[in-house]
Amino acid sequence: MTLAWELHKRYPFDPDAPTGIAKVLRTGDSELIPEISEELIRTHVTDEGLREIILALGLRSSMIVPLVAHGRTLGAITMAVAESGRRFDEADLRLAEDLGRRAGVALDNARLYRELDRFRATLDQTRDCVFMFDPETLKFFYVNQGAVNQVGYSTDELLGMTPLDIKPELDEERYRAMIAPLISGEQELHTFEAKHRHKDGHLIPVEVVLQYTAPPDEEGRFITIVRDITERKRAEDALRQSEQRYRELADTMPQVVWQARADGAVEYLNRRWFEYTGRSPEEPWELSWRAVLHPDDEPRYTEVWSRAIPAGKPYEVEVRLRRRDGVYRWHLIRARPVYADGRVAYWVGTGTDIDDQKRSEEMLRERSQELERLAAELESRNRELDQFAYVTSHDLKAPLRGIGNLAQWVEEDLGDNIPDEVRNHLELLRGRVARMEGLIDGILQYSRVGRVVSPAEPVNVRELVEEVVDLLSPPPGVTVEVAPDLPVLVTAKLPLQQVFQNLIGNAIKHGGPAVRIRVSCEARGGTYEFAVADNGPGIAPQYHERIFGIFQTLASRDKVEGSGLGLALVKKIVEHRGGRVRVVSDEGQGATFFFTWPK
């Protein structure tokens, strides 16, 4: 044994060797050397070390036979004699070859059993069920642990059963008709859904894949892979219910709702489409769409659609669709892709009837153009009115100035000899001339309210009121009190000045020689409310509205000079700014005029 081990270590196996084990493994043919002489060894073994070991072993005869199983060479057995005088012959070789075949089959069976054990262990770890059954008897001859777990029977119980015992909806005739194409080779696989009955009686939805195999030299068999699809069925039911709810919701909408595949082919249209168009649900979408789309809109829609589909981008386009009565109405078509795993899975879209809106927009455009025309015409008329007012003012004031000058010249010519009655008439004449000039100025101011735009600027209202009082130069007995908390506004200064000048001037004019006037303010939301109060004779309530009319005065013009335009001008200026003016007064109680002005 020592020499044999030394031989193995120093001279390892050479698969390309021309003789010995290498040759037997390559060819599958046995090798017999009946007589191993020293001369034979020295002739054929050229390596001196190897030759010495073989000589030391004292080998006298040897034979090598292959280990064969199912036509495959699995290995080889070497037999040799050294010390005895026995020699191997052909009979020994035949016996050894038979032994090699038996040993090969035993080795192959052992390998198959190891592989089968590993295969079974692997199948037992899978979640799917594996059933194998005989095509003649239909009885199971193998089930994995998954099958046991699924139907609740033990392995021993299942091995005495057939597929029909766990598939209550199938009978033997139908089942054999189903597997016949697999046995004949017409069909490679057969997949179907069924229900397995558990040992406790409840049913399990499953997907079954049947395959028939017939290995060489073996009986045919069926291999069945069964997967529990309970969760999938629940998901499908949930999806089906969700789709049903979606379609019911879509059918209640007043819009057209549609869904299309990734390539744009429409798969679903809600009820509104068929109600509006009168088309049949059985009609192909392409024909239905071409029949209702206005021919003039087709090129534009096709262009938008053909760009959006490959790009996977949302799109919207306005087109005219024909109603079932033949009338075309404008619709806004909107669509957007729904992505899954980075790709367009499908499209959803709507069609909204915007015909009334389009008509309203057209009417609005026409009205806008009409308003622009009227505004331009109004602006032209205003310019003409301004020119007319200016010319009229100039032409009316010229003779008035002449009358005034004439009265002054008459008075100067008469000098001290002028009678008192004539002097009074001349004074009255000059007063009428002044009143007429004031009336003309008032009319001019009134006509310009809202047409002459003054720039906005910071206005300190307290300082503005003080300037107005200084301009009016009230008589010595008149007191004007200005509240210290009047605000600073960003507004047009001149209109506000005109309002205060008219209100304070009226209070001075009508309040009496010792009238007390107070100007104050309170904030009210987005406006300020100003008040001009006096302790004069007051105004009876029945005249509160009348006094704001044009040319309206309560006192005789012979007693109080005035044009009757002051409060009308105040009202027009305040209301043009979005405010309102009012008076609180009674006879003998003074008067307070309130007006609002935006902040």
CB 285 within 8 A of CB 263: no
Give the residue from 197, 177, 190, 174 showing the smallest Cα distance to 222: 190
- pLDDT at residue 415 in the model: 73
Structure tokens at 265: 């082919």
Give the residue from 131, 325, 311, 126 showing the smallest Cα distance to 209: 131
Length of the chain: 599
Task: Produce one character per residue of 461-474: b if its CB has 16 or more CB atoms within 10 Å, e if not.
Answer: bbebbeebbeebeb
CB 183 within 8 A of CB 165: no
- pLDDT at residue 10 in the model: 67
What DSSP string runs through 427-441?
HHHHHHHHHHHHHHH
Alpha-carbon gap, residue 584 to 529, rounded angstroms: 14
- pLDDT at residue 107 in the model: 83
Structure tokens at 13: 């196996």
Which regions in the chain score pLDDT beneath 50?
Answer: 556-562
Residue type, 47: D
Residue 581 pairs in a beta bridge with 595
Number of alpha carbons in the 13 Å side-chain half-sphere of residue 289 = 17
- pLDDT at residue 585 in the model: 94
Give the residue from 328, 335, 358, 330 showing the smallest Cα distance to 257: 335
CA distances, 161 to each of 102, 164, 198, 317, 481 (Å) = 36, 8, 13, 65, 116
Phi, psi torsion values for 431, nearest 5 degrees? -65, -40
- pLDDT at residue 72 in the model: 86
Q: H or E segment at 30?
A: none
Query: Rounded to a whole number, what is the distance in angstroms from the first to the last CA of the chain?
Result: 120
**Other Cβ atoms within 10 Å of 219 Cβ, number:** 9
Residue 378 three-state SS = helix
455 secondary structure, DSSP code = P
- pLDDT at residue 285 in the model: 81
- pLDDT at residue 156 in the model: 93
Give the pairing of strands 479-482 and 516-524: parallel
- pLDDT at residue 296 in the model: 95
Alpha-carbon gap, residue 580 to 571, rounded angstroms: 7
- pLDDT at residue 444 in the model: 65
**Vertex 457 angle, CA 454 and 462, to 5°:** 110
Phi, psi torsion values for 198, nearest 5 degrees? -70, 160
Task: Produce one character per residue of 227-260: b if its CB has 16 or more CB atoms within 10 Å, e if not.
Answer: bbbeeeeeeeeeeeeeeeeeeeebeeeebbbbbb
Task: Produce one character per residue of 519-534: b if its CB has 16 or more CB atoms within 10 Å, e if not.
Answer: bbbeeeeebbbbbbbb
Strands (E), 270-424: 315-322, 328-340, 343-353
CB 58 within 8 A of CB 41: no
> Within 140-225, where are the H helices?
145-151, 155-158, 163-166, 172-184
